Amino acid sequence: MKPLIATAVFAILMMFAALTVKEKKSFTHFAAILMLGLVGLNVWELADYNRLLASAQASPDLFGKMLRVDNYALWFNVLMSSCSFFYILLVGRSIEKVGVHVGEYYALHFFILCGVFLLSTYNNLLILFLGIEILSIPQYILSGSDKRNLKSSEASLKYFLMGAFSTGILLMGIVLLYGAMGTFDIHGFNFYATGTLNIMGVVGVLFMLVALGFKVSAAPMHFWTPDVYDGSPTPFTAFMATIVKVSVFFAFMRLFMEGFANLDPYWKVTVLGTITVLTLLIGNITAVYQQSVKRMLAYSSIAQAGFMMFVVIGSNAMAMKGMIIYAVAYTLATVGIFGVLLKLKDYTYDGFNGLAKKHPFLALIASICLMSLAGIPLTAGFFAKWFVIAAALEQPGTFWLVIFALVMAAVSLYYYFKVIMAMYFKTGEPELITPVTTMDKVVMAIIGSAVIVFGIAPDMLLAWI
Amino acid sequence: MCNFLWLASTEGIGSYAPVLIQLLIAGAVVSLLMLLTHILGPKRKTKDKLINFESGIEQIGNARKPMGVKYFIVAILFVLFDVEVIFFYPYAVNFRELGTEGFLAVLMFVALFVCGFVYVIKKGALKWED
Amino acid sequence: MTQLVYLVPLFPLIGFLLNGLFWKSMPKKLAGIIGSTAILASFAVSLGIFFEVKNGAAAGQGIVHLFDFITVGNFKIPFAFMVDQLSAMFLLIITGIGFLIHLYSTSYMHDDEGFTKYFAYLNLFVFFMLLLVLGANYVVMFIGWEGVGLASYLLIGFWYKNKEYTNASKKAFVMNRIGDLGFLIGMMLTVYHFGTLSYNDFFAQLQGGIGAQTQNGYMIGSGMTNAIAICFFIGAMGKSAQIPLYTWLPDAMAGPTPVSALIHAATMVTAGIYMIARSNALFNLAPMAQNMIAIIGLATVLLAASIALKQNDIKKVLAYSTVSQLGYMFLALGVGAYVGSLFHVMTHAFFKALLFLGSGSVIHAMSGEQDMRKMGGLGKYMPITKFTFLIGCLAISGFPFFSGFFSKDEILAAAYAKNPMFYYLGLLGAMMTTFYMFRAYFYTFTGNFRGTEEQKHHVHESPATMTIPLIILAILSLVGGLVGLPEVFSHHHLLNEYLSPVVQNFDIHHLDHTMELTLMGIASAIVLIMMYVARVITRKEQFGEAKGLAKVLENKWYVDEIYDFLIVRPLAWKARILNNIVEQKGIDGGVNGLGQLVQWGSTRLKNLQSGQVGSYLFAMVIGIIIIFAIGIFGLLYM
């Protein structure tokens, strides 16, 4: 696992760079280069694995069966590190403005990616726990990194308190599962080992469900999300809402698909469906009333989590495809819209008034990203929703769930298009806090065109699975 | 199995019925009590009553004031390094069995440990005086 | 060469992008060169493809798969091109005539301020038209289909500052949309029943004939094939201007004349014929739809020809003539003479492009004047235009041994074999054709000049870039018929042999030679008689107020007015009612109510988000307990 080790090493490198380097800008450059290296390492790892696979030497198990790699997980890592790369290019300038410890911020990002890679390849509940913690703790710090801002400190504290609460629940679930199954290996779970259903195991499953649901901000464990996403420095919100969330979903799906495969499908649909309905309802309905685009995006991320719950419900081959497409579509679009948001001074809807007149390029990219989030055809978001719904429909009794989700998707049009309306049909003088550089334009153009290209040919993302 | 007999059965899911009942009762009691305190408790919202209690002395200024956390940081660092050092005990006990490989692993552990230490010192976290 | 087929649409696309993106800074000369060269390059590749296909090198399944366009579960729509005899023939027509018209346009449009834009649009049109004929499935065809509609819309309204012109472009767009809807429904029915939109797959399933099983497990019945075929035909009606959707084409003459020549005569309007010829496997199984096509085609021939008799605008005459000639092609499709229809597509492309460009040359010389009443005697000033226009008139009238003679003869013979009534009515149409074409010719090129002095002074022969295309097209109109000599003259019907792997005539009885010669004789005699009649009538040069039938004809049978009365006004009336009552009260009320419900819910839910960690945890725990309750309760049913 070269990339996994590399994330830790890169993070330490960043930390030590922070001790000696004074120039803020160089941190961003350094981080971008390291991130590019990480992408390269991931691609290398994938190619290497396939080469070994061809000569039948590849072994999926690593570190004494603690990790399990396959094409799918490695490809996911490639995509996530690439998204992180674009993320740094796009918001690096804003990260420099958050506070004085720029090097540390980047180091924390690399630590988070370490957790991401653990979550995509874990084969053992201990690694799942480790991954979740490695992923979460840097987020607690990042969300409080704007120390002089009360909202940021508040966000950090709230996130930490509630995160600790959910960690306890996660551990409780792992303990119960271990007690019931006698193993941490997710491939060793059998809920009918004794002939009858193992009730303790099922209670463990419910605990795991709640804890992971907390991390992906599924209702009713979502309460931290709006406050934390709203309070955290905006560039970090973009990271937390996208790559982190998507990776936890990846782990979530793998747990249910590989670990809890032999649970009754009706039961899974009932329990997961309840959470999905609540998440979609609360996310979409509450987003309608928000005044700030940033806070609206926080609720929208809850709503999107409701859709991503469908991959957990599906837990089949289609869901695996849906996971990849949704991950990329959602991440790109959200990073893109945050990239635009970061340029603006005023985060309310009014701040977007007349943006199309003054900065047509920003408005265009924002519109493409918002349309993708809303799931308009010819954007990646459309196929993302399409795949996850198709995956869920393969499970019994999901029909009404899907109908409900579509109604909620219609509601989501309201708050996404409200931004587009503000940009194109209202007049105003939007103020930028940072000028749009050529680099920004290039990255935004890449993101915008990727959203459209994947909306036309989503199969490109499925090349490796 | 969908009838009330499962409550009485002693095997399978039925044996957990008491747990469920207890859970429900616990939940009910908790919410009932919280509700009752809200409803029954007397509420007198006067200005004096809502003010922060500071030993009877009138409050001065804002509570949100920056203050030194030196001691706090040192304490946390102590806990961190203390816990890390604890790992040496099991290693010392198994020193012979683990052999060279174990030695190298611990060496790596110590190296990372030193990295953290260097970072902390360089950051000036242990400087008591400003 | 076949593998390089993607180059054919690529060149015009590049031309479009260059001209379209840099139209501000592009010098006129360069824009013309880019636009024309792109088409010439496509033509060169098309020629290579044609010879390869002709020699049978690419015989069989000439499918060039570019990439997977849409993949939905098991249903795949590849972005693939089909290179076979049929598409190669259309490639040649589109790029060949397209190039001549581009060349012609470089002079014709020379003084226009939108010169670069014009070439961008024109290249865009060629790109989509090539997609249309190259697609290996109906979806790619549909992309091209819609694309040419767009390009046509843009070019009809090219002089957008004139309100009437933009109205004409809107009319064309809307009329085409009606047809497109039919096409789309046909495509959906096809997917539903056959599970595919790829030609090869679809036609292979139809091979079994009535009663066979489709891929989706349906039995092919005549109801199903007729329904799909009629839907497709409705699509063709819109694009190829058949009754009742033809009224847009005469109005489309608002666009620049070379556009009329390329889009509204030679290529785009034949898309419907291409589509039906391509789907011949389907139409052969749908006799009802075929009858419908034949009858509508014939009705269009007569209606349009009769209107053309009394038109005074030279382009309007040609426009109605186009509608009428398209009617012949549909008549041929309806009676199963696919090759005859395609033959006529080809010859019509030659002589109609020639006539339009000729009229363009005249209009150019007359400084934009299109009314024939103000022309006359132009032959003296512009001999090349006059001579080539004459050739075009002879060809379209079916004067013996000109190209139109052979193609029209083939259609009429096939019509006679099906039903002699078709033949007689077709002949009536041919009579009218000869009359109105020569009426136009004599009014324009002979007699005395009737325009103003200033115009007379200005009249001149067009420059070489305009006359060279005319000459080339005139030669093609002369000899183009040789590829399809009837059986009486030669045993080798070249076009028939060439197209036979893709399209074959269906259910046509061969007439014996005496009969065929008799029919030809009758047709030729009629042409000569009508030419004489036209000469006699035009010599009077009277343009009085028309009366009786002539007035009806001059007003195009009042079709536009009838449509307005029957369709537009009731629709507008219904729309008002729907708008005022159903929409504002019912739907708006409902939608706004829903919106208010959502907002109300939003304010309620927002209050949950109090900001207090304690209340969050409390709510969370309650939620968790509910989840546990559902989870445990759900176990009872496991």
Are C352 and C483 part of one and the same domain?
Answer: yes
Q: Give B28's contacts in chain C (Cβ within 8 Å).
A: none
Burial (0-12, 13-18, 19+ Cβ within 10 Å), A400: exposed
Asked if A406 reaches chain B (Cβ–Cβ under 8 Å), the answer is no
- Smallest CA-to-CA distance from A305 within A411, A399, A209, A217 is with A217
Whether the per-residue pLDDT at B62 is higher than 90: the answer is: no
Amino acid at C234: I
Confidence of residue A186 (pLDDT cuts 50, 70, 90): very high
Tokens 């290579």 — which residue?
C48
Q: Give B24's contacts in chain C (Cβ within 8 Å).
A: 629
C-alpha span between C179 and C234 (Å, rounded): 5
Task: Give the model's pLDDT for residue B10.
Answer: 62
Q: Which residues of C touch A (CB under 8 A)?
A: 67-69, 71-73, 595, 598-599, 601-603, 605-606, 608-609, 611, 613, 616-617, 619-620, 622-624, 626-628, 630-632, 634-635, 637-638
Are B46 and B12 part of one and the same domain?
Answer: yes
CB A387 within 8 A of CB A326: yes
The predicted model gives C116-120 an average pLDDT of 88
Are C8 and C127 part of one and the same domain?
Answer: yes
Share of chain C above pLDDT 90, in %: 6
Tokens 């995160």 — which residue?
A163
* C631 contacts A162? CB cut-off 8 A: no
Q: Is residue C406 part of a domain?
A: yes
Q: Which two tokens stand for residue B62?
A: 């804002």
Length of chain B: 130
Task: Give the model's pLDDT for residue C167.
Answer: 86
Residue B48 to chain C, least CA–CA distance (Å)? 23
Chains in contact with C, counting 3 or more C-beta pairs less than 8 Å apart as contact: A, B
Amino acid at A450: A
Measured in degrees and rounded to the nearest 5, phi and psi for residue C270 equal -90, 5
Residue B11 to chain A, least CA–CA distance (Å)? 10
Whether the per-residue pLDDT at C319 is higher than 60: the answer is: yes
Cα nearest neighbour of B14 on chain C: C636
Are B74 and B103 part of one and the same domain?
Answer: yes
Q: Is residue A335 part of a domain?
A: yes
Q: Is residue A399 part of a domain?
A: yes
Task: Give the model's pLDDT for residue A235.
Answer: 94
Q: Give C625's contacts in chain B (Cβ within 8 Å).
A: 23, 27
Burial (0-12, 13-18, 19+ Cβ within 10 Å), C329: buried
- First-to-last C-alpha distance (Å) of chain C: 64
Higher pLDDT, C477 or C563: C477
Are B41 and B77 part of one and the same domain?
Answer: no
Q: Give C618's contacts in chain A (Cβ within 8 Å).
A: none
Does the global pTM surpass 0.90? Answer: no
Domain span holding position B96: 70-123
Whether the per-residue pLDDT at C456 is higher than 60: the answer is: yes
C-alpha span between C598 and A283 (Å, rounded): 12
Whether the per-residue pLDDT at C609 is higher than 50: the answer is: yes
Q: Is residue A270 part of a domain?
A: yes
Q: Which residues pair with A348 in a beta bridge?
A: A292
Q: Is residue B60 part of a domain?
A: no
Q: Which two tokens stand for residue C404?
A: 């139109």
The two most distant CA atoms of chain C are separated, in Å, by 103
Are C437 and C526 part of one and the same domain?
Answer: yes
C-alpha span between C594 and A288 (Å, rounded): 13
Taking CB atoms and an 8 Å cut-off, how many pairs form between chains A and C? 100
Whether the per-residue pLDDT at C312 is higher than 60: the answer is: yes
Measured in degrees and rounded to the nearest 5, phi and psi for residue A410 equal -65, -40
Task: Give the model's pLDDT for residue C555.
Answer: 72
- Count: domains in chain C: 3
Confidence of residue A277 (pLDDT cuts 50, 70, 90): very high
Whether the per-residue pLDDT at B2 is higher than 50: the answer is: no
Whether the per-residue pLDDT at B39 is higher than 50: the answer is: yes
Residue B16 to chain A, least CA–CA distance (Å)? 8
* A289 contacts C602? CB cut-off 8 A: yes
C-alpha span between A217 and A226 (Å, rounded): 10
Are C380 and C528 part of one and the same domain?
Answer: yes
C-alpha span between C411 and C425 (Å, rounded): 12
Positive or negative, the CA dihedral A452, A455, A457, A461 is positive
Tell me the DSSP string of A344-367.
BS--BGGGGTTHHHH-HHHHHHHH
CB A347 within 8 A of CB A294: yes
The predicted model gives C335-351 an average pLDDT of 89
Asked if A150 reaches chain B (Cβ–Cβ under 8 Å), the answer is yes
The predicted model gives B89-98 an average pLDDT of 89
* A411 contacts C627? CB cut-off 8 A: no
CB C91 within 8 A of CB C49: yes
- Count: domains in chain B: 2
* A158 contacts C609? CB cut-off 8 A: no
CB C327 within 8 A of CB C301: yes
Higher pLDDT, C66 or A45: A45
Q: Which two tokens stand for residue C323?
A: 């509608």
Are C599 and C534 part of one and the same domain?
Answer: no
Which tens digit of pLDDT belongs to each residue from C134-144?
A: 888 898 899 99
C-alpha span between C405 and C387 (Å, rounded): 18
Tokens 């009224």 — which residue?
C247
* A19 contacts B123? CB cut-off 8 A: yes
Q: Is residue B22 part of a domain?
A: yes
Whether the per-residue pLDDT at C9 is higher than 60: the answer is: yes
Length of chain A: 465
Cα nearest neighbour of B118 on chain A: A16
Asked if A211 reaches chain C (Cβ–Cβ under 8 Å), the answer is no
Neighbours of C530 (CB within 10 A): 21
Measured in degrees and rounded to the nearest 5, phi and psi for residue A275 equal -65, -40
Task: Give the model's pLDDT for residue C545.
Answer: 62
Contacts of residue C424, defined as CB under 8 A and 6 or more positions apart, other chains included, come to none
Task: Give the model's pLDDT for residue C73.
Answer: 64
Q: Give A197's contacts in chain B (Cβ within 8 Å).
A: 12-13
Nearest beta carbon to residue B12 from set A15, A16, A196: A196
* B119 contacts A199? CB cut-off 8 A: no
**Which candidate in A157, A288, A412, A453 is best for mutational testing of the C interface (most C CBs within 10 A)?**
A288
Q: Give C602's contacts in chain A (Cβ within 8 Å).
A: 285-289
Which tens digit of pLDDT belongs to each residue from A338-397?
A: 999 999 988 998 889 989 888 989 999 999 999 999 998 889 999 999 999 999 988 888
C-alpha span between C374 and C313 (Å, rounded): 10
Q: Is residue B34 part of a domain?
A: yes
CB A98 within 8 A of CB A157: no
- Enumerate the H helices of C335-461 as residue ranges: 338-365, 383-397, 403-418, 420-445, 453-458
CB C410 within 8 A of CB C342: no
CB A413 within 8 A of CB A324: no
Supply the DSSP symbol for C510. Answer: P
Task: Give the model's pLDDT for residue C547.
Answer: 64
Strands (E), A186-323: none
For chain C, the average pLDDT equals: 83
- Enumerate the H helices of A122-198 as residue ranges: 125-143, 150-181
CB C328 within 8 A of CB C426: yes
- First-to-last C-alpha distance (Å) of chain A: 19
* B119 contacts A150? CB cut-off 8 A: no
* B64 contacts A15? CB cut-off 8 A: no
Whether the per-residue pLDDT at A305 is higher than 90: the answer is: yes
Nearest beta carbon to residue B119 from set A16, A196, A199: A16
- Count: domains in chain A: 1
Confidence of residue C86 (pLDDT cuts 50, 70, 90): confident
Share of chain C above pLDDT 70, in %: 94
**Which candidate in B7, B15, B21, B23 is best for mutational testing of the C interface (most C CBs within 10 A)?**
B23
Whether the per-residue pLDDT at A289 is higher than 70: the answer is: yes
CA dihedral of A54, A57, A63, A69, whole degrees rounded to 10: 20
Last residue of a domain, one of C89, C108, C136: C136
Domain span holding position A270: 264-465
Measured in degrees and rounded to the nearest 5, phi and psi for residue C55 equal -80, 0
Task: Determine if residue B98 is left, alpha or beta; phi over 0 gives left, psi from -120 to 50 gives alpha, anything else beta.
Answer: alpha
* A459 contacts C68? CB cut-off 8 A: yes
Q: Which two tokens stand for residue B55?
A: 């030993």
Domain span holding position C59: 1-136
The predicted model gives C307-315 an average pLDDT of 84
Q: Is residue A90 part of a domain?
A: no
Q: Which two tokens stand for residue C334?
A: 């309806």
Task: Give the model's pLDDT for residue B1.
Answer: 42
Contacts of residue B109, defined as CB under 8 A and 6 or more positions apart, other chains included, come to B87
* A19 contacts B122? CB cut-off 8 A: yes
Are C330 and C459 part of one and the same domain?
Answer: yes
Amino acid at A122: Y
Q: Is residue B58 part of a domain?
A: no
Which tens digit of pLDDT belongs to each residue from C220-234?
A: 888 888 888 999 999
CB C275 within 8 A of CB C232: yes
C-alpha span between B83 and A289 (Å, rounded): 48
Cα nearest neighbour of B117 on chain A: A16
Q: Is residue B61 part of a domain?
A: no
Burial C258-297 (b: 16+ CB within 10 A, else e): bbbbbbbbbbbbbbbbbbbbbbbbbbbbbeebbebbbbbb
CB C372 within 8 A of CB C312: yes
Q: Are strands C63-72 and C75-82 parallel, antiparallel or unpaired?
A: antiparallel
Which tens digit of pLDDT belongs to each residue from A104-130?
A: 999 999 999 999 999 999 999 999 999
C-alpha span between C15 and C30 (Å, rounded): 11
Q: Is residue A337 part of a domain?
A: yes
Q: Give C638's contacts in chain A (Cβ within 8 Å).
A: 197, 264, 266-267
Amino acid at C517: L
Neighbours of A257 (CB within 10 A): 19
* C68 contacts A288? CB cut-off 8 A: no
Confidence of residue A170 (pLDDT cuts 50, 70, 90): very high
CB C503 within 8 A of CB C84: no
H or E, element range at C71: strand C63-72
Confidence of residue B12 (pLDDT cuts 50, 70, 90): low
Task: Give the model's pLDDT for residue C59.
Answer: 46
Task: Give the model's pLDDT for residue A108.
Answer: 95
C-alpha span between C329 and C306 (Å, rounded): 18
Contacts of residue A37, defined as CB under 8 A and 6 or more positions apart, other chains included, come to A6, A10
**Which candidate in B13, B15, B22, B25 is best for mutational testing of the C interface (most C CBs within 10 A)?**
B13
The predicted model gives A148-160 an average pLDDT of 92
C-alpha span between C57 and C59 (Å, rounded): 6
